[in-house]
Amino acid sequence: MTFDGQSVIQRPSNVHPTLMTDLTIFATVCQESGNDGYVIGKGVNDRFRDFGLYLRSTKRTVWLSYGTGENNPGFRSIIYFNDVSVADGSCHSVGAVIDHSGNRALLYIDGTLSKVSSPLPSVPRFRPSVS
């Protein structure tokens, strides 16, 4: 599936764009204090991650990892959003955006812009067809 800014477009499961440079991750999370973990992650292993969103309540940090290897999938950069926590036992919406053209990453908590990181540490390269 892809999102054209207004609606989700269903794509055949065997047809993928080869390379993308923007990414949005959105989730509703309920996290307890002292609990760390991935909301979502795609990649071969923790080091070779195409993208991921990790909530680390013990350090009050949200990690946004993204693929950067143009020719070889799996190389990544990590953006650290510090002094952020949703670990209060309540449910929260969390949105993370890689904005390649704006050379920045944005973090939204409950629909409000919480953090901005700019410039991006490296050029994003996502491979939707690589699993």
Q: Supply the pTM of this predicted model.
A: 0.77
The C-alpha atoms of residue 131 and residue 129 are separated, in whole angstroms, by 6
Domains in the chain, CATH or no CATH each: 18-117 (2.60.120.200)
HSE-CB at 53 with a 13 A cutoff on CA atoms is 19
Q: What is the pLDDT of residues 59-68, one digit of tens each?
A: 999 998 887 7
92 by DSSP, 3-state: which? strand
Give the pLDDT of residue 128: 56
Give the pLDDT of residue 74: 56
Any idea what the Cα angle at residue 56 is, between residues 49 and 34, rounded to 5°? 140
Preceding omega of 128 cis (within 30 degrees of 0): no
Q: What is the pLDDT of residues 21-61, one digit of tens each?
A: 788 888 899 999 888 888 877 765 555 567 788 899 889 99
pLDDT over 60 (residue 96): yes
Give the pLDDT of residue 60: 92
